[in-house]
Chains A and B, each alone.
Chain A
Amino acid sequence: MRAKYVLSEVITGLWRNVTMTVAMIITMAVSLAMLGASLLLYTQVSDMQDFYYGKVEVSIFLKNDVTEAQRSSLQSDLKVDPLVQNLIYESRDTAYQRFKTQFKDAPDLVNATKPDSLPESFRVKLKNPEQFQSMYDKYSGREGIGEIIDQRKLLGKIFGIFNSVQNVALAVAIVQGLAALLLVANMIQIAAYSKRREVAVMKLVGASNWFIQAPFVLEAVFAGLVGAIGAFGVLWLLKLVVLDGALKSLQNVFPPIPDTRMWLMLPILAGVGAAVNAIAGWVTLRFYVRV
């Protein structure tokens, strides 16, 4: 009986103020979607970091006028260097072949590039990718070497962009979350005002505090859960339209988000939405409305 009473109170409560409820659900959904996007981006980027940092190399590009002697002395030095784990020599010809396959979708670019315009290079995989600087110091002044490039640095820039996108999403989530909290507080106040007579009678005849407060708190929790489901829907939509749709060609760079990880977002967002609203609702009741 009690559960039924509380439930019917929650439903009438949400209906009584339906515009407010909808506003609160939408705000909550946006906030949680941003939170979810931020979480997904975070896990995605750390996955990509593990993957790419395992593959990064240091490229030592040789000058066009490098002599045979310079090249072979460099090669023998690199071979015995304790910093080096693996060494591959890439001639102009192989560099050009690789270039051709890499840009096979852009024939104009391939045609405009002459086979000898790409430099020959040593591709060095370091034992510890962090030791680029000592590698650089050791070889940078040497005759015949053009440029020494750390791929890690390039990747770092790209991941930096991802990180700032993630931070923006998180910031939007927090701001929208604050707006959602204020709406919860407002919703509770309106609900408490419209039920002030009932509340007064309940207190008078000795209804327990949880019994008086539960319908209000559950109203907020319910709105939070619906908001979380909305947010989950938005995330799937974004995944389908943006990642699997518009950015499909980038899938070898930006790996698709596995479905299990998407599904994991539902309990997380629902938990966050429900908990935050429950706490906000209860605090409003306890310290502001003093129901």
Chain B
Amino acid sequence: MIQLEHVTKTYPKASRPSLDDVSVSIDKGDFVFFIGPSGSGKSTIIKLLLHEITPNAGKVYVNERDVTTMRSWKIPTFRRSIGCVFQDFRLLPNRTAYENVAFALEVIGKSKGVARRVVPEVLELVGLGGKEHRYPHELSGGEQQRVAVARAFVNRPLILLADEPTGNLDPDTSVEIMRLLDRINRTGTTVVMVTHDSNIVNQMRRRVVEIESGRIVRDQPRGVYG
């Protein structure tokens, strides 16, 4: 499903590479944590998988496709098979929960009818039934992140990427979000989560890949934060 082969990425003007000869393979339906201190290079992996950046060396395969040589006009269609959640939610403040999720469908050309059918369903799934017409500022942090998860999942992506999704949330709310991601993983969606929240990692007992200074130092099937 996802494969990194000897990937090296050095940002311009950086003294050392963010990722240094990293190889990792993730199967369909996996749930993987990438952990490590700030600046270790774990967020770079998310950016590579989204094709926001390209590696200096090595290959990145997503859904059996070589992302590194992908033509730029193919990127939008490619991204439709990937959902993405961030620490800062990235919701549109002037749109309701419903409209935020529907927006993601509308801008890839889905009709309003499809949105009317699918959006309430996915909002129900993330536990926001009854709060469709609230604006982001009328929702708690956890609820906002649920809207973001709903938006990432509404298109039924094969892969869900989560970049520190609990970074702005208190521990109890974080646990709820993790339950939600776990539920999404059980539908067969591959989940890749970048975090440095040790409690979460220790509770979930899923595969852990630890990165330090751009290198993989540990890859454990049912790991803890360490």
B3 in the interface, Cβ–Cβ < 8 Å?
no
**8 A Cβ contacts from A164-215 to B:** 197-198, 200-209, 211-212
Q: Which residues of B contact A197 (CB under 8 A)?
A: 90, 92-93
Contact of A205 with B112 at beta-carbon distance under 8 Å, contacts A197-B90, A200-B90 already known = no
**CB closest chain-B residue, reference A4:** B112
A1 in the interface, Cβ–Cβ < 8 Å?
yes
B108 in the interface, Cβ–Cβ < 8 Å?
yes
**8 A Cβ contacts from A15-44 to B:** none
Size class of the B contact interface (CB-based, 8 Å): 20 to 34
**CB closest chain-B residue, reference A207:** B107
For B94-108 the 0/1 string (1 means CB < 8 A from A) is: 000000000110111
A287 in the interface, Cβ–Cβ < 8 Å?
no
For B74-89 the 0/1 string (1 means CB < 8 A from A) is: 0111111010100000
- Tell whether, in the assembled complex, residue A207 and residue B76 are in contact, meaning their CB atoms are under 8 Å apart: yes
B140 in the interface, Cβ–Cβ < 8 Å?
no
Determine how close the nearest CB of chain B comes to the CB of A38; give it in whole angstroms: 40
Contact of A198 with B92 at beta-carbon distance under 8 Å, contacts A1-B106, A2-B109, A211-B107 already known = yes
Determine how close the nearest CB of chain B comes to the CB of A198; give it in whole angstroms: 6
- Tell whether, in the assembled complex, residue B79 and residue A205 are in contact, meaning their CB atoms are under 8 Å apart: yes
- Tell whether, in the assembled complex, residue B77 and residue A206 are in contact, meaning their CB atoms are under 8 Å apart: yes
B151 in the interface, Cβ–Cβ < 8 Å?
yes
Determine how close the nearest CB of chain A comes to the CB of B96; give it in whole angstroms: 15
- Tell whether, in the assembled complex, residue A205 and residue B90 are in contact, meaning their CB atoms are under 8 Å apart: no
- Tell whether, in the assembled complex, residue A201 and residue B106 are in contact, meaning their CB atoms are under 8 Å apart: no
- Tell whether, in the assembled complex, residue B92 and residue A201 are in contact, meaning their CB atoms are under 8 Å apart: yes
- The residue that B111 contacts in the complex, of A1, A204, A205, with Cβ under 8 A, is A1
Main secondary structure of the interface of A (DSSP, over half): helix
Determine how close the nearest CB of chain A comes to the CB of B154; give it in whole angstroms: 9
Contact of A205 with B104 at beta-carbon distance under 8 Å, contacts A197-B92, A198-B92, A200-B90 already known = yes
Q: Which residues of A contact B111 (CB under 8 A)?
A: 1
Complexed CA–CA distance, A211 and B76 (Å)? 10
Complexed CA–CA distance, A211 and B79 (Å)? 15
Determine how close the nearest CB of chain A comes to the CB of B131; give it in whole angstroms: 20
- Tell whether, in the assembled complex, residue A204 and residue B79 are in contact, meaning their CB atoms are under 8 Å apart: yes
- Tell whether, in the assembled complex, residue A208 and residue B92 are in contact, meaning their CB atoms are under 8 Å apart: no
Complexed CA–CA distance, A198 and B151 (Å)? 13
B155 in the interface, Cβ–Cβ < 8 Å?
yes
Q: Which of B82, B84, B104, B111 has the most CB of A within 10 A?
A: B104
- Tell whether, in the assembled complex, residue A205 and residue B109 are in contact, meaning their CB atoms are under 8 Å apart: no
Q: Which of B76, B79, B111 has the most CB of A within 10 A?
A: B76
A-B CB proximity, top 4 nearest: A206-B79, A206-B80, A207-B107, A205-B104
Identify 16 residue pairs between A and B in the complex whose beta-carbon atoms are under 8 Å apart, listed by A's number.
A198-B92, A198-B103, A201-B92, A201-B103, A201-B104, A201-B107, A202-B107, A204-B79, A204-B90, A206-B76, A206-B77, A206-B78, A206-B79, A206-B82, A208-B76, A208-B109
